[in-house]
Structure 1
Amino acid sequence: MSVQLTLEDVRVALGGNEILHGVSLDIAPGEFLTLLGPSGSGKTTTLNVIAGLVPTSGGHVRFDQQPVEKRPPHDRDIGLVFQSYALFPHMTVGENVAFPLLTRKVDKAKRRAVAEQMLELVQLPGTADRPVRSLSGGQQQRIALARALAPSPSVLLLDEPMAALDKQLRETMQIEVKRIQQEVGVTTVAVTHDQTEAMTMSDRVAIMRDGNVEQIDTPEALYRRPATLFAARFLGETNLVAVRDGRLAGFGTGVGARSGTAVLRPEDFALGGDLPGSAPRLSVRVTTASFQGTRYRLDVVHDEVGAMIVTLPASTDPTTIAPGTTIELALNDGCDLHVVPEDVESEPPLVSADLTIAA
């Protein structure tokens, strides 16, 4: 059974230094939340607090409104998947999956039945009697997930579970982990530094910075409406363009904010000739252009705006965007500018400013 997981003003001090500065989260039953942030942001410490592996110096951790911060890890009804998987090499696959049930004194027949059920869930049927060492990295990751789910935990915790996999397998496993989580319905908290992984698997993402939650929202909302410049820079490629006296620097077009910083994503641009003459535009010089299969990625520079990143369709004529070429860029039709006000870099705004280009 999944639970509501609540962190209320959680603080952690280690070695005299405060690592978490009042972290608060409210995670719905069955929700998949990912903690995302740079090294040292506090995301792993937050996960370990939920697991009971790190003591708190203040605040509360609640499962369905019941405080658990004083409970040891084995009394929290959690499943934990480590980055290293931590499988037992001397045990078979089935014995690894059933191990949490062995510690709970579940009888042998029931352990075997649950192990078989979990192996079906992670799409590795018939492997119960195989040695763990005979499995690939992706298969071992599935076994670690099956083991964590075997006792039907209320909360599943994932500590960078894809970090050891190669890119293609990691992308496949992101979809698989989300499928399994949705099928089981367990409340899940993951830690990762991989932005694509966070956006692929999560219902919501919490961006962390210096022991605080910078912003928490759906992947799409975080990408389109970052509350601070840190969130804008951290999630995806971003162009930050100044808004002065109600006008967008370089483009000269009016916007609905007096001042601040507009967040323009690389895909918000098109070649000027592909859009009506009324679309806001500026001339830039191409410094690099690379073909990436589904798109061209360009680094361009403008005297006032500075360096920017632009992506264009794969069908674009490469001769028109060669390095050294001057091209005219326009904002895509219907582009809504999201502007971060000047005074919110340290404190996120309660209401975001989504502003349509003024005529």
Structure 2
Amino acid sequence: MSDDGAAVDGTDSGTGRNEDSENGEAYPDLWLDQFASYLGFGRLAALVDEDLPPSYVYATTTIVGWLAVVVGYSVYTGTPTIYETNPYFLLQPIALLVAVYGSHSLRRSYADVMDEMRIRDRAEKPEQLIDIVPEWLPWSLFALTAGMQLLRTFLLDLTSFSATEIVANVFVFPFVYGPILVQFLSIYIAIEFIAPWRLTNSEVGIHFLDPHGVGGLRPLGELIKKAYYYVVFGLVVYALITYAPVLGSPEQEVSAAASTIFTAVWVLTIATIGFAVFMLHRFMHREKHDEIQRLEDELRSYMVDPWDVTKYTIEDGKEKEAEDIRRRIEQVSSTSEYPATFNIWSQLLLSVAIPKAVQLLLSTL
């Protein structure tokens, strides 16, 4: 089945990339596209548009289909749906569709970042930075999340569940919603953890002639923020689903477990973006220090008494070389270490504060 699915949508399952039939250029593919193709959604996508990712068809079909099943079962049995008792639950399918879109957007943006940073020209092994999501990562996360969901389900008393609740917990959550969240989480981990780590340990170095004055790391820094903005959206949706229904209902309150989970996830997401920012800052600081040290050593080789500022002189015939090195030192010294501006810091701090502010606001109303 996998061979047929790959043939339909152009997926090379070995590389995780698609081949553009018009110009022969490879473009980023998602694990979720391959997963959807195994289930036949590659053929459905090709019927609509050859360039339509199977993951979009998979997500739209399964999410909307499940909504129809829930509503239809409610009408048939005359029981209210979760969307009637908590209208904010309608944000859940919206957030899942946004997660699919976000996964594609972030993966395309990462490919653009690699092109803008000229990684193919600057790295000895560019594929280590370009192919940033390890093949084993989404499959491992999928096995972990599906296993945990099934274990949680079978530890519950299923006799009190309705038919749709049983199907949701046994099938929809681990095998429909799970892959969507796994895909986004894989991309997010790659951008916030793997990319900064591999860049720091690569031979790419810093682009000290960057006109933006941030060593050529602005594209990656912007992408790290963009990825976190999607997480902020998800946390706000979670807060609305959890806290908004109890507004104006003194007899209802949010459980301590739900509040703890929200705070724990919020803190964890802060740690992720904090790690990415720290790695970029440390990388720039190290490269900047090493380059200045190298240039200073070269400059001293043209000096007499280089350690005495009151006596040093430049060797005869070396004045132009010394002046050139001084300009290079100034260029390197003027490079800011990311995050370097008030604008960047304010955006980071604001995005970190928004989810908790929304939660606190809703919990106090």
Q: Same fold (TM over 0.5)?
A: no
Which structure features the higher share of helix residues? 2
Which structure features the higher share of strand residues? 1
Question: TM-score of the superposition, structure 1-length normalised?
Answer: 0.20
